[in-house]
Amino acid sequence: MRIESDFLVIGSGIAGLSFALKAAKAGTVTILTKRDLRESATYYAQGGIASVSSSEDSFESHIKDTLDAGAGLCNRRIVEIVVRDAPERIKELIQRGVKFTGRAAADGLEFDLGKEGGHSKRRIVHAEDLTGKAVEEALVEKIRSNGNIRVFENHIAVDLISHAKFVSASPMERDMVWGAYGLDKSAGQVRAFSAKATILATGGAGKVYLFTSNPDIATGDGIAMAWRAGADVSNMEFIQFHPTCLYHSKAKSFLISEALRGEGAHLTVSDGTRFMERYHPMGDLAPRDIVARAIDFELKKSGDDCVYLDITHKGAEFIKSRFPNIYKKCLEFGFDMTIKPLPVVPAAHYICGGVAVDENGLSTIDRLWAIGETASTGLHGANRLASNSLLESLVFADRAVTDAVRLVKSGGEVPHIPEWETLGAVESDEAVVITQNWDEIRRFMWNYVGIVRSNKRLERASRRMSLLKNEINDYYWGFKITSNLIELRNIATVAEIIIRCALARKESRGLHYNIDYPERDDLNYARDTVIRP
């Protein structure tokens, strides 16, 4: 059974849903999502969306802060496009029903603007401390009521349907994508989802690491599928580790928003001594890569399990009103942040690289776009500025729609696509292989390809990954696929890409820190790391 539409969107976060709503004005849209429609990294985003929204701020200031954080690798044209487009995209969200925190003013809503690490001004538009939830729920409501959009929940994409697999073409021609195969997780059936334009909006890949702030769905599916289809991928060595995740065995790395430090919270060691002033002039508001490495260094020096985030001096009334949901969540784990500092540790949070795309989100494969965290747009460079991620998703969803609609309207019929074949695969009788390999990849990625790296660690990770890749491929082609197997295959692919990119960059810059090359080398490495399958 083949499902046909003009646009196929894989993923249901802010990027995918924003694209779908706009594309539905021009044609039919299919959305594939691994769980229910609202389950995405967007839903759990606490901080907010960076946008110049006051007379005390300026586009130039936001651009400069973004470029400074990106450590020399941002694409200035892309930065300017995104920053200048921000106010319009915020206005659009308000029109779709998102209620941001603020108060009524004569000329509209006066935002309660937050400030986060790396920002020189208050410019974070937020909905209390659950911005992502407010955005996601508003978009989902619009999607559900749109008759031009079909949603397939609990469906995981298996692989892209590339032209070269089914239609003879000249070796000199660029390949193109005509949709994807997707597994219905409840029925165990693989269907072909064909489309004239395919959009990867599957989010990040935090689950490649042992400790992550990401939800369980973040297994790098879009990046892995694009790579297998032959797309260029870039800058995957730049993994942002969020400095402050709650340290508790049952908290599952619950994120403590950077907005706490923006409102005056301090990082301390166990005896209450502050330490960030020793690492950066901005102290607790330094960019995330600096803060994460500082914490890592302090923990290695002391042997402690965690550092502490102290906002008690701001008073209970302020804390409960500004961070009501973080306050309630911490109470569930036995921590009252109005009385005592919170124990925190870094965790894998955001991938600054991804599928290499142009200024409209188009990949190096025709008819395939990538937006959101799945894409490497040039905005973040070597380190993402806080709260630029949701903004990037909004801006590139808008740009990709314009590009994709133009292509769909220009014509071109989808070729015949064969049904999925199992090719003799049988039911697995040793699923323990999936669990073992999953755990091993995540553990050695944390230990060898984490916050601080070395040549020896990276080479060790590369050798182990080669062995695991062969083992996983044998298993994949021998047994019927399951959701767990698809995700294992994808995190293995993404892990291999991260290792390759990290080995290629023989310097330290932004989020990539190698003790064998501790200095930044602008002469040889002030460029993107672009790799091909």
- How many angstroms separate the Cα of 491 from the Cα of each of 48, 90, 221, 223, 462? 28, 33, 8, 10, 14
Q: Which two tokens stand for residue 388?
A: 């630029």
Sign of CA dihedral 160, 163, 164, 165: positive
Instruction: State how far the Cα of 81 lies from the Cα of 384, in Å rounded to an integer.
Output: 16
Bridge partners, residue 184, by sequence: 155, 189
Question: In the predicted model, what is the mean pLDDT of residues 18-33?
Answer: 98
| DSSP secondary structure letters along 100-133 | -SEEEETTEEEE--B--TT-SS--EE-STT-HHH
Q: Cβ(350)–Cβ(45) under 8 Å?
A: no
Length of the chain (residues): 533
Residue pointed to by tokens 């769980």: 35
**pTM metric for this prediction:** 0.91
Residue pointed to by tokens 């009252």: 336
Q: Cβ(7)–Cβ(29) under 8 Å?
A: yes
- pLDDT recorded at residue 360: 98
- pLDDT recorded at residue 474: 86
Nearest of 517, 518, 464 to residue 495 by alpha carbon: 464
Residue 212: burial class (beta carbons within 10 Å; 0-12, 13-18, 19+): buried
Nearest-5° angle of CA 383, CA 388, CA 389? 90
Instruction: State how far the Cα of 443 lies from the Cα of 449, in Å rounded to an integer.
Output: 10
Q: Which residue has the higher pLDDT, 82 or 433?
A: 82
User: What digits encode the pLDDT tens for the residues 442-470?
Assistant: 999 998 999 999 999 999 999 999 999 99
Instruction: State how far the Cα of 521 lies from the Cα of 328, in Å rounded to an integer.
Output: 45
To the query of whether residue 2 is one of the catalytic residues in this protein, the response is: no
Question: In the predicted model, what is the mean pLDDT of residues 2-17?
Answer: 97
Nearest of 446, 448, 462 to residue 515 by alpha carbon: 448
**Is domain 242-347 classified as CATH 3.90.700.10?**
yes
Bridge partners, residue 245, by sequence: 255, 345
- pLDDT recorded at residue 171: 56
Question: In the predicted model, what is the mean pLDDT of residues 257-281?
Answer: 94
Q: Give helix 432-448 / helix 455-478 axis angle, nearest 10°.
A: 160
Nearest of 114, 157, 414, 398 to residue 257 by alpha carbon: 114
Q: Cβ(510)–Cβ(237) under 8 Å?
A: no
Q: Cβ(323)–Cβ(114) under 8 Å?
A: no
**Is domain 432-531 classified as CATH 1.20.58.100?**
yes
- pLDDT recorded at residue 334: 95
User: What digits encode the pLDDT tens for the residues 225-261?
Assistant: 999 999 999 999 999 998 999 998 788 778 898 889 9
φ/ψ of residue 6, rounded to 5: -75, -40
- pLDDT recorded at residue 106: 60
Round the average pLDDT of the chain to a whole number and report it.
93
Instruction: State how far the Cα of 431 lies from the Cα of 445, in Å rounded to an integer.
Output: 22
DSSP state of 236: T
pLDDT at 427 over 90: no
Instruction: State how far the Cα of 274 lies from the Cα of 84, in Å rounded to an integer.
Output: 37
Residues 6+ apart with CB under 8 A from 406: none
Residues of the chain above pLDDT 70, percent: 96
pLDDT at 137 over 90: yes
- pLDDT recorded at residue 229: 95
Domain ranges of the chain: 242-347, 432-531
Is residue 414 very low, low, confident or very high in pLDDT (cuts 50, 70, 90)? confident
- How many angstroms separate the Cα of 27 from the Cα of each of 5, 83, 89, 148, 409? 8, 29, 22, 7, 9
Q: Cβ(118)–Cβ(287) under 8 Å?
A: yes
Is residue 47 very low, low, confident or very high in pLDDT (cuts 50, 70, 90)? confident
Residues of the chain above pLDDT 90, percent: 80
Residues 6+ apart with CB under 8 A from 261: 116, 117, 244, 267, 284, 285, 309
Residues 6+ apart with CB under 8 A from 216: 207
Half-sphere CA count of 106, side-chain side, radius 13 A: 0
Residue pointed to by tokens 């196929």: 8
Q: Which of 38, 288, 384, 399 is catalytic?
A: 288
DSSP H helical ranges for 145-220 = 163-166
pLDDT at 24 over 90: yes
Question: In the predicted model, what is the mean pLDDT of residues 138-160?
Answer: 97
Instruction: State how far the Cα of 90 lies from the Cα of 96, in Å rounded to an integer.
Output: 10
pLDDT at 473 over 70: yes
- pLDDT recorded at residue 415: 85
Residue pointed to by tokens 């911490």: 330
- Kind plus residue range of the DSSP H or E element containing 511: none
Residues 6+ apart with CB under 8 A from 303: none
